[in-house]
Amino acid sequence: MRHSIIITIVRHGQTSGNSNRLVEGITDTPLNENGLSQAKLAGEWLQDETFDIVYTSTLKRAKQTASIIVDKNANIDKNDQNFIELALLRERDFGVLEGISMTEHTALAAKEGLSWLEYTPEAAETLDDVKHRAESFLDRICGFALNSKNETSKALVVTHGFVIAHLIQLIYEQTNCEGVPIDVIKNGWSIAEDRTKMLCIMQNTSITRFEIEVDETTLKIDSAKCVLFKSSVHLNK
């Protein structure tokens, strides 16, 4: 037997660190004025959607974004049961390089003969560390779908660029689903001149949505379809 779940994944709104091109990672910064505006626009665009549960990173910028979207939504009243904060969804920890400029980060990586994506600073998480967290979160999503009384469950997920990229890649690898641009998947975690081809690059509050079927026997994703991919149409007002 299969159970369905629709997952709407939103990157947090802009922070001062984002606008100043700093490495934020787990540095706990709030949204700036533009980020608050972006979150409101995302909330307005999603206001008529139904969400059974909301999962958010424990970092302020994600929690603020999630709260604004929920406040704008006509079909959910926030409470301790349907608004869940998870450390699993936090951004990649960049260790000793937290808070430095991306220019400095790139230069330090180059000294090691690596791109800024490949480089793992001292005390930082690797890409695989973040991938494992994303895998654990997908297991949780599957469990929610299987235990839901609804034929099709609906979840809002507010998190960060690296986590979203891993979620997209994992779902694609498990299902070979349509709707994910093949050139982005093939580029994977490589640097590209065209930043739209990079898996982890996306606008603040961009929205990705998957329609997923979960297999009751394997407790894993059986099939999926990506119906929105890093969409920022709500920002074009």
Count CA atoms within 13 Å of residue 219 on its CB side.
8
Q: For residue range 86-128, what is the model confidence (pLDDT) as tens digits?
A: 999 999 999 999 999 999 999 999 999 999 999 999 999 999 9
Q: For residue range 158-191, what is the model confidence (pLDDT) as tens digits?
A: 999 999 999 999 999 999 999 999 999 999 999 9
Given a cut of 80, whether residue 152 has pLDDT beyond it is yes
Q: For residue range 209-223, what is the model confidence (pLDDT) as tens digits?
A: 999 999 999 999 999
Given a cut of 90, whether residue 2 has pLDDT beyond it is no
User: Edge-to-edge, what's the strand order for the sheet holding 221-231?
Assistant: 83-86, 53-57, 152-159, 2-11, 207-215, 221-231
Q: Domains (ranges, CATH) in the chain? A: 2-94+129-235 (3.40.50.1240)
- Which pLDDT score, from 0 to 100, does residue 1 have? 64
Beta partners for 226?
210
Mean pLDDT of the chain: 96
- Which pLDDT score, from 0 to 100, does residue 114 have? 96
Share of the chain above pLDDT 90, in %: 97
From residue 197, alpha-carbon distances to 25, 175, 190 in Å are: 22, 20, 9
Nearest to 14, CA basis, from 237, 199, 196, 202:
202
Given a cut of 70, whether residue 27 has pLDDT beyond it is yes
Question: Quick one: average pLDDT of 147-152?
Answer: 92
The CA-based angle 66-69-75, given to 5 degrees, is 115
Q: With 0.95 as the threshold, say if the pTM is over it.
A: yes
Question: Quick one: average pLDDT of 228-233?
Answer: 98
Question: Quick one: average pLDDT of 189-203?
Answer: 95
Structural tokens at position 77: 């009243």
pLDDT-based confidence at 237, cuts 50/70/90? confident
Structural tokens at position 220: 């894993």
Gap between the Cα atoms of 34 and 80, Å rounded? 28
From residue 37, alpha-carbon distances to 41, 59, 83, 219 in Å are: 6, 18, 21, 39
Q: Residue 141, Cα to own-chain centre: how many angstroms?
A: 14
- Which pLDDT score, from 0 to 100, does residue 47 have? 97
Residues assigned a catalytic role: 12, 91
Classify strands 207-215 and 221-231 as parallel, antiparallel or unpaired: antiparallel
